[in-house]
Amino acid sequence: MDHKIKSANEAAEKIIEWGVSQGLTTCFERAEKMKPCPIGETGACCKVCHMGPCRLVGANAEEEARGVCGANVSTIAARNFLRMVAAGTAAHSDHGRSMVLTLLAVGEGKTDDYSIKDPEKLLRMAAILEIPVDGKEIKEVARLVALKLLEDFNRIEGKLNYARRAPQKTRDRWKKWGIEPRSVDREVVEAMHRTHMGVDHDPDHLLLGALKTSLADGWAGSMISTDVSDVLFGTPKPVQAQASFGIFKEDHVNLVVHGHEPTLAESIVDVVSEPELVEYAKSKGAKGINLGGMCCTANEVLMRHGIPTSGSFTNQEPSIMTGLVDAVCVDVQCIMPAIVELSKKFHTKVVSTSEKAMTKGAVHIAFDEHHAKESARKIVRLAIDNYSNRTKNGKYVASDKAPLIAGFSHEYIEYMQGGKWRASFRPLNDAIMAGRIRGIVGLVGCDNPRLPASGYFKTLALEFIKQDVLVVTTGCGAAVYGAAGYLTPETAREHAGPGLQEVCEAIGIPPILHMGSCVDNSRILTVASAMAAEGGLSDEIGGMPAVGIAPEWMSEKAIAIACYFAASGVPVIFGGGQSPVAASKEVTDIMTRVWYERFLGCLHFEKDPEKVISLALEYIDKARAALKLKKYEPGRFGTERVLMDMAARRDIGKAAKPHVGL
């Protein structure tokens, strides 16, 4: 990997270098200038009280160093880590709660701007939540489901309703180790309490707290967010779209939706083609209005509507530097404050919309889900009004874009393996058992300006698919693969090993499946649970030949995700930079060895991409051996059922009734 490049996204690299020539700085130059504090970076700095900050350094720091209160390195590193998990859980789950409140508003008839787009999914959720639906109107079902879901956010005692979606054996492990979460709020508050000065000091106990808190994220906050978004906006199925900076159109008004919650973005999708707005754009000299996405909001509207994405986290500044963005509309999370300053060097307007998230210098248009379309129209008008302020300043190459296929919801992954009538995970399990697919790797999370951004993602994906490992992706990783042109069926032909290639060609899918935004990592939990229920592999999530990897992670949300996968039974490897618990061998040992013994999942921090690959394959092959599956050998498969091709599925589909099973 060439460490001199800033971004391994070639189009981004051109823009960043152009920016440098213009005296503009981006996160890449700031990352070079701002070296991480070597003490805080490894988890050895404690600033939870004002006797410190205490920095526990020195040759024998782990044995001898103590903070003013007497806390040792392991306590401090574990406490810092738990706080990261609490923050990540809070972020995903606050987003999830907003979705539920929108569903409630629909159910109570308090908004006409949203409706129930997937009533079947709502009914399936009602069944999981044991809500009787007979004779009830769909809006009433929505109201009852929303009220029930809210319990998972603020229950004081008891267990998550949604935890019942996990395999029994997985839940048994949670029970045994005392990490069954009660609710999002309860666990986040308790995590903050336990990490206050002078409360919880046992690293193992603190880290169990991290797992417990994270499970409230994975199996409630995030999973609820995904489900409710599908109900309100439609469950994704494959769509074609495009990615990278070439999605902007020189003769159109370009509006970018950036952030996380799909509510506002969906309203913008709804209004952007309204004749009055299109006419208004034309009256200002534009040929039309072009909507694009950024970060996870992009994934939400890409999965459901094929709205193109300008890219991942590190592409937000280069997007503005194209000079073509008339407005960026943001809500919450992963929005660099730097874009407001940068936008002033161009004509771009940054519009904040959430009462929770303001940046000085941005235009604020408050978004209210009860009057969603009204807010959306205001924002579109603002972008149109700004079109005529465009200058020639910017670096843009129209051909910098790639085609992609996204939209692999867990429902569609099930459907694609047999059509409506025989949808199941049997073919996937069979392909794994036969060694046609060696295992599954989730390549997810942020891209990072401290690395050649997006480079590790690309290296890892190509190596895994070559080794017949099916890749699933979400979040900024998915945007990276979109911009790289990897999310196409042709990638299987060009880069996948023989077994994976055969599977991809039989179904007509890419070897890297775009499963959505970061909260949609919950879709991967659902797939893993369905694979366990299908039989033939492990009967719990743990023990599957599957690994999660966040090669370039940077956010606290990524840490929360890693923990809920680890607690659910998936080994997770974080690549890129330093381990945030490197200062403590004890904490590192608990997260790797001890967690694996208890949960069959764990968390490694590994900087070297080669080692990330070998460690992941080691876990996959170890799981295959423990399940007594055929040893993986490229090009040599065992006997198995044949995957159904498109024609066979169409025939079955003709006689099909709607699929309502889980």
Q: How far is the CB of 433 from ligand NFS (least distance, A)?
A: 32
Encoded one letter per residue, x for contact with ligand NFS by CB under 6 A and - for no contact, window 238-267 reads ----------------------x-------
Q: How far is the CB of 136 from ligand NFS (least distance, A)?
A: 34
Q: In the set 24, 44, 220, 334, which binds ligand NFS (CB under 6 A)?
A: 334
226: alpha, beta or left? (left if phi > 0; alpha if psi -120 to 50): alpha
Q: How far is the CB of 130 from ligand NFS (least distance, A)?
A: 31
| CB of 81 or CB of 632, closer to ligand NFS | 81
Residues 542-571 that bind ligand NFS (CB under 6 A): 555, 557-558
Q: How far is the CB of 534 from ligand NFS (least distance, A)?
A: 29
Q: How far is the CB of 294 from ligand NFS (least distance, A)?
A: 8
Residues 202, 455: Cα–Cα separation, whole Å? 38
Q: How far is the CB of 336 from ligand NFS (least distance, A)?
A: 10
Residues 482-521 that bind ligand NFS (CB under 6 A): 518
| Partners of 550 in the β-ladder | 574
Candidates 402, 124, 132; CA nearest to 240 is: 402
Residues 466-485 that bind ligand NFS (CB under 6 A): 475-476
For 508, the token pair is 């007509």
CA distances (Å), origin 520, targets 12, 300, 447, 473: 26, 9, 17, 10
Considering the rule CB under 6 A, would residue 523 count as an interface residue with ligand NFS?
Answer: no
| CB of 260 or CB of 458, closer to ligand NFS | 260
| CB of 427 or CB of 548, closer to ligand NFS | 548
Helices in 108-222 by DSSP H: which ranges? 119-128, 138-154, 168-176, 184-194, 203-216
Helices in 390-547 by DSSP H: which ranges? 410-415, 419-422, 426-434, 455-466, 475-484, 489-495, 498-507, 521-534
For 350, the token pair is 């940054």
Q: How far is the CB of 317 from ligand NFS (least distance, A)?
A: 13
For 413, the token pair is 């992954």
| CB of 118 or CB of 261, closer to ligand NFS | 261
CA distances (Å), origin 141, targets 123, 138, 330, 658: 8, 5, 32, 19
| CB of 16 or CB of 56, closer to ligand NFS | 16
| CB of 447 or CB of 586, closer to ligand NFS | 447
Considering the rule CB under 6 A, would residue 44 count as an interface residue with ligand NFS?
Answer: no
Residues 293-332 that bind ligand NFS (CB under 6 A): 295-296, 313
Angle at 95 between CA 77 and CA 378, to 5 degrees: 135
Q: How far is the CB of 312 from ligand NFS (least distance, A)?
A: 6
Residues 555, 475: Cα–Cα separation, whole Å? 12
Q: How far is the CB of 84 from ligand NFS (least distance, A)?
A: 12
Considering the rule CB under 6 A, would residue 87 count as an interface residue with ligand NFS?
Answer: no
| CB of 242 or CB of 517, closer to ligand NFS | 517
Q: How far is the CB of 547 from ligand NFS (least distance, A)?
A: 18
DSSP designation for 132: -
Number of residues that bind ligand NFS (CB under 6 A): 13
Which amino acid is present at 218? G
Considering the rule CB under 6 A, would residue 449 count as an interface residue with ligand NFS?
Answer: no
| CB of 44 or CB of 518, closer to ligand NFS | 518
Residues 619-658 that bind ligand NFS (CB under 6 A): none
Candidates 17, 24, 12; CA nearest to 345 is: 24
Residues 405, 185: Cα–Cα separation, whole Å? 37
Residues 588, 566: Cα–Cα separation, whole Å? 14
Residues 141, 125: Cα–Cα separation, whole Å? 10
Contact footprint for ligand NFS (CB under 6 A): 260, 295-296, 313, 334, 445-446, 475-476, 518, 555, 557-558
